[in-house]
Structure 1
Amino acid sequence: MKKIFIVIGLLSVFFSCQKTEDSTTKNSVSQKQSQVNKTSAEIENVENSVDTVTITYKWTNAKEWLSKHEKDTLKQQIAFAINRTDLSNFSRMDSVIIPTDFSFDKAKYLPFPSEVNYLKDISKIIYFSYPTQTFAAYENGKLIITGPTNMGRQKYLTPTGLFFTNWKAKVKISTIDDDWILNWNFNILNKEGIGWHEYSLPGHPASHSCLRLEERDAHYLYNWADQWKLADPYTVLVKGTPVIIFGEYDFIAAKPWFELISNPKAIDITKDEMENITQPYLNEILAAQKNRDSILNKPL
């Protein structure tokens, strides 16, 4: 009888130990899994922080700042873009705004989002924002290039809505003034002669309806965007790259980007806003894209 009790006791101890070991093992695995999850969350937070980083700004004297950074072209590009201007006009300005941190890519200082999932089915599209005086080009929802623009002045407003690129010319003489040489011109309204091109950026809407760009940006979009294809001189067979021009500019108020001093997110264009801007034109854009692909990719 004693032997039976001894055996039962030993078995009880064994299973008790086994249970403890299993519990310890499970706790250990749980703790490790928790650490992995925590690490993953931390990594995700770091990745997300790149898009949600807040950049602060301050006022400075343009000439003094330029003299201190005359050899730093990267900082200059950022400062010019933030003030929607170029070198020659920046040097003539009085007070300008600059970021307190120049360590990010130029796109981080401009209002368009780096990725818009709603645009993933659109192979190429360009946006021009009247209120923020900036442009952005996307490929399947990913930002390819962005920069400053100076659009139509109050007397010659740039039309808003959906357009498609048509013809282009490396150099074009303006029909308004023979002295205006328009480099990297890409037309979006054929009869009206409205398009984007390289030209002086005084830091506010100043054109006769066209979309002024810095030389590097105009050159890039000139090569990146697609031209139309004509069946004959009067019939468009294939449309070019879609271009959406949106918003209104307040010509009485202070320049919108000056609000960045008090609110660094004041003129950000959100992903939801991008969806709302695009949604009314989405079917037309996708239909034109489908037509282009079917005709240009047709076997010979």
Structure 2
Amino acid sequence: MLRLSQKKLFNLILLTSVISFALQCEKGQETASREIELKKLDSAAKAKKDSLIQDSIQKNTVAYRAFIFPAKKKDSAMAAFNKEFSKEDQYVILALNRLDLKNKWRADTLAVPDKIDSTLMAYSPFPHQLEILKDVHKIVFFSYPIQAFAVYENGNLLKWGPTSMGSKAAQTKRGLTFANWKKELSISTVSSEWKLPYNFNIHNTLGIGWHQYDLPGYPASHSCLRLLRNDAKFLYNWADQWILNKGGATVRANGTPVIVFGDYKWGKKKPWKNLIQDPKADDISVEDLTEIIKPNLSKILEEQKRTDEVRGGITAAKAGEKVAA
């Protein structure tokens, strides 16, 4: 009897040890998981903080002054502007004021930076990094409030520039769309006299796309997204088209995602003119842009996965054809 009791006691102790060890392991796993999650949160917070700091540092290096074109002495002011600034410098200054060289006669008061950066990146109103987009290969944004576009690759700002979007009577449709087809030189459906270089459609049924055309310093298009020629050419070559199924009637995979957002303050002071008083006047914050992206992110990643699979399959098929040949 004594031996049996000792055996039972031994088994009980052994069982208790096993349970205790299992609980400690589980607790250890929970602690490890919690530590991993905390590290992820810390990393995300750091990335967000770093992006805010970088944007702040870059913006603090730029100051603006006003160059005024009085209504009664506009010709002499324009002569002074042309004398002070080279064509290259004028291009940058006018771009910051949402104008092109053709429309510089429309200028009244220009915000002029103290340093000229031909890439415009030193003046970006968009965040230079967006953690939320780290898994998104490519995306384009068009902002109505500041009449500007931005290009991101995996959360890093690649390029930005001015635009002229739909007029008050023909506003550009907001929301998420995808780049569709492109044509190096299109003819407008509104007037056959309007030539549209580097046209890239983003809404097939509505006929909306980006292309080069006049930038008059305000939203003036018939719903399309007007760009400077260099920007239109860059986007034309950079963005991806859709992939159609055989016969061309249905979409097999979408192209680059595009988000058009915000509202323009019609009749109010243009936000870029406030740069003279505040270099951050037309900035879009990390938080604001993140909130715009959030409701669209799952759709963007879903379409991206499908596109990657389709493009991968096409590449593999082509490679197979070459081997067979």
Contact 2:184 2:199 in 1 (8 A): yes
Task: After TM superposition, list the pairs within 5 Å mapping 1:33-72 onto structure 2.
Answer: 48=54, 50-61=57-68, 63-64=78-79, 66-72=81-87
Residue aligned with 1:297, SS: helix
Gaps of 5+ in 2: 1-49, 70-77, 318-325
Instruction: Output the CA distance in 1 between the equivalents of 2:109 and 2:79.
Output: 10
* 2:149 pairs with 1:135: yes
Task: Name which of 232, 236, 243 aligns with 2:251.
Answer: 236
Higher alpha-carbon deviation: 95-104 or 154-163: 95-104
Distance 2:142 2:80 in 1: 29
Which of 114, 130, 136 lines up with 1:116 in the alignment?
Answer: 130
Contact 2:121 2:160 in 1 (8 A): yes
Which of 265, 268, 287 pairs up with 2:283? 268
- Is 1:97 the counterpart of 2:104? The answer is no
Amino acid corresponding to residue 210 of structure 2 in structure 1: W
1:110-164: per-residue Cα shift (whole Å, max 9, x none)?
3111121211100000000000000010110111111000000000001100000
* 1:219 alignment partner, SS class: helix
Q: Which of 271, 283, 290 does residue 256 from structure 1 map onto?
A: 271
Any stretches of 5+ residues in structure 1 without a counterpart?
1-43
RMSD of Structure 2 on Structure 1 (CA)? 1.9
Which of 187, 190, 202 in structure 2 is aligned with 1:176?
190
Q: Is the 8 A contact 2:92 2:118 kept in 1?
A: no
User: Does the 8 Å contact 2:142/2:260 carry over to 1?
Assistant: yes
Q: 1:94 to 1:52 in 2, by over 3 A?
A: closer
Question: Residues of 1 paired with 2:262 and 2:117: CA distance?
Answer: 30
1:159 aligns with 2:166: no
**TM-score with structure 1 setting the length:** 0.80
Partner in structure 2 of residue 187 of structure 1? 201
Q: Is the 8 A contact 1:54 1:264 kept in 2?
A: no
Which residue does the alignment assign to 1:293? 308
Number of aligned residues: 254
Counterpart residue number, 1:82: 96
Q: What pairs up with 1:189-208 in 2 under 5 angstroms?
A: 189-208=203-222
One-letter identity of the residue aligned with 1:113: P
Aligned match of 2:28: none
Alpha-carbon distance in structure 1 between the residues aligned to 2:277 and 2:85: 28
Per-residue CA deviation, residues 243-265 of structure 1 (Å, 9 max, x unaligned), is 00000001121111112222221
Distance in 1 separating the partners of 2:80 and 2:198: 30
SS state at 2:160 partner: strand
Select the structure that is richer in helix: 2
Report if the CA contact (8 A) 1:229-1:238 is conserved: yes
Residues 99-108 or 149-158, more deviating:
99-108
TM-superposed deviation, 1:271: 1.4
1:66–1:91 contact (8 Å) kept in structure 2? no
Query: Any idea what SS the aligned residue of 1:296 has?
Result: helix
Alpha-carbon shift at residue 169 of structure 1 (Å): 0.4
CA distance in 1, matches of 2:171, 2:82: 35
- Tell me the percent identity: 45
Write the distance in 2 (CA, Å) between the matches of 1:64 and 1:79. 16
- Contact 2:151 2:157 (C-alpha < 8 Å) held by counterparts: yes
Distance 1:214 1:128, change over 3 A: same
The alpha carbon displacement at 1:67 in A equals 1.4
Displacement of 1:104: 8.0
Alignment check: 8 A CA contact 1:77 1:106 kept: no
For the Cα contact (< 8 Å) 2:134–2:154, is it kept in 1?
Answer: yes
Tell me if structure 1 keeps the 8 A contact 2:60–2:279. Answer: no
**Aligned amino acid, residue 118 of structure 1:** I
